[in-house]
Amino acid sequence: MITRTTTFGGALLIMAGLFGFIAPGFMGLRLSPAHNLLFLVSGAVAIYFGLLTRQAAGRTFCIVFGAFYGLLGLAGLVAGGLNGPITIIPEALVLGTMDHVVHGILGAVFLTVGCVSETGHRQFIGAANKS
């Protein structure tokens, strides 16, 4: 499940990054060149962890990546409210409500997969059996 999630999620991030150069206002997202580059890099890293690393490394990536994006989405919604954009880098990286929602969903998916993955389940059961 980790391999599929990181690989598919990475591919979606890369497609979103590329699509952002064509339609920067798609679905109310504020896809600036800086935002698109972050999506491209995030997607490439996700695919790397999905295809070229061990399950445990992929699980850790899902948890860290999911927590980061989840907190980014939550912080954006709390700080900016439902109507206010947040400026990270003036005129280069401004995040609006839809960006916060997408970041929150992305974080929730990766974090959930990392926490309930088969590898994590096996590690939990192994730790319980040792007690």
Secondary structure (3-state) at 52: coil
In a 10 Å sphere around its CB, with 0-12 CB exposed, 13-18 middle and 19+ buried, how is residue 94 labelled? middle
Q: Determine contact, residues 3/43, Cβ cutoff 8 Å.
A: no
Return the structure tokens found at 31: 């896809």
Per-residue pLDDT, 3: 85
Residue 122 in this model has a pLDDT that exceeds 60: no
pLDDT at residue 124, as a whole number: 45
Taking 90 as the threshold, does the pLDDT of residue 110 lie above it?
yes
Q: What is the pLDDT of residues 67-82, one digit of tens each?
A: 999 998 888 888 876 6
pLDDT at position 70: 93
For range 95-100, the mean pLDDT? 83
Question: What digits encode the pLDDT tens for the residues 24-61?
Answer: 888 878 888 988 999 999 999 999 998 988 888 889 99
